[in-house]
Every structure is written in structure tokens, then in C-alpha cells.
Amino acid sequence: MKPTKVAAVFAGSLMALGVAAPAMAAQQALTPTSLNGGLEAIAANGLKSDVLSSTTEGSPVKTVTDTATQLNQTGKGLPLIGGLPTGALGG
């Protein structure tokens, strides 16, 4: 076979394959994949999150606040020299 005839047969078979393949309809993505889509979703639905609330149990801000409060209460009344307590070692 001549090269042009081989190329024509190959191109024809690819076209036939493309026509025979079923068409798939694109479904709408569940989450937006672009910055504009994300901003539009937030604008439409609103941002419903209290992750950074200082009153919500389990939020990082409340955890840090509670830990700092506990640390501040533990160290009150103990004189320190270089970060070490000056009281008796045994209690």
C-alpha cells in the first residue's frame, strides 16, 4: 500500500470510531473548581462556619484560650529563677 492510502484508511477508521462512540453528557460538578465558582457559591449560600469562634467547643481558638488560662493559673504564686521553681524539690 502506498503511504497516502494507509493514511486515508487510518483517518477513516478514526472517524468511524468517533461516530460510533456514545456521547456522554457532562454533569454539573458538586463543588466549584475555580476561584470565581467558589466565590459565587459562598455568595449564594453564605459562609456557615464558626470554626474560629471562641465560644464553640472544639474550635482551635477556644482550645488555645483554655490552655493558656490553665497555664497561667498553674504558675501563680511560685517564684522562678531561670524558669525553675525555687520551692522544695519534694513538694
Query: For the stretch 9-29, what's the b/e string if a residue is b when 16 or more beta carbons lie within 10 angstroms of its beta carbon?
Result: eeeeeeeeeeeeeeeeeeeee
Q: Is the pLDDT of residue 3 over 70?
A: yes
The pLDDT tens digits for 29-84 are 567 778 888 888 888 877 777 777 778 888 888 888 888 888 777 666 666 677 67
Cα end-to-end distance, the chain, whole Å: 99
The count of other CB atoms within 10 Å of the CB of residue 62 is: 15
- Asked if residue 54 lies in contact with residue 61, where contact means CB atoms within 8 angstroms, the answer is yes
Q: Which three cell numbers stand for residue 7?
A: 493514511
Q: Is the pLDDT of residue 1 over 70?
A: no
pLDDT on residue 20? 64
